[in-house]
Amino acid sequence: MWQSLRISHLILRLFLAAVFLWFGIDKFFHPLYWLNTWLPHSIVAFSALVHVSASSLVYGVAVVELLVGISLVSNMFVDFFALVAAVLLIIISLFYGFNEILVRDIGILGGLLALVFWPKPVLSRYS
C-alpha cells in the first residue's frame, strides 16, 4: 500500500504543478490578457487606492503560482505551498462567485487539500 500512496502522491503533485506552472508562466507572457479579462474592476480600483499597479498584482499572483508549481515538482514545502494555493483559490472564488471557473477551482482546491492532509510516513525510532 505504501507504494501506491507514493505513486498517487507523485501523480497528484505533478499534475497540479502543471496547472500552476502553466498559469504562472502565462501571466508573465500575457499580463494584459489576465489584467483585462480576469482581474475584477473592484480589485483594480482597490489596488489604485493602496498605490499598487494592477499589473503588479498580476505578476504577484504569477510568482505565487510559480512557487507553488516549483514546490510541487520538487516535493519541498508541499504542505505550506499547497495551503497557500488553497487560500489563493478561496480568495479568487470569493471575488468571482459561482460560475464554471469556480467548478474547476473546486476540483483543484480538493487536490491541494488532499496534499495538505496527505498521510505522513511514521518514522520509527528503532529503524
Does residue 94 register a pLDDT over 90? no
How many residues are listed for the chain in this entry?
Answer: 127
Side-chain-side CA neighbours of residue 71 (13 Å): 19
The percentage of residues in the chain with a pLDDT greater than 90, rounded to a whole number, is: 63
Tell me the percentage of the chain whose pLDDT exceeds 70. 94
State pTM to two decimals: 0.88
The burial of 92, by beta-carbon neighbours within 10 Å (0-12 exposed, 13-18 middle, 19 or more buried), is given as middle
Q: What is the pLDDT of residue 34?
A: 92
17-55 pLDDT, tens per residue?
999 999 999 999 999 999 988 888 888 888 888 898 989
Q: Is 6 helix (H, G, I), strand (E, B) or coil?
A: helix
Spatial separation of the C-alpha atoms in residues 54 and 46, rounded to whole Å? 9
Helix axes 2-29, 54-74, angle to 10 degrees: 150
pLDDT given for residue 46 in this prediction: 83
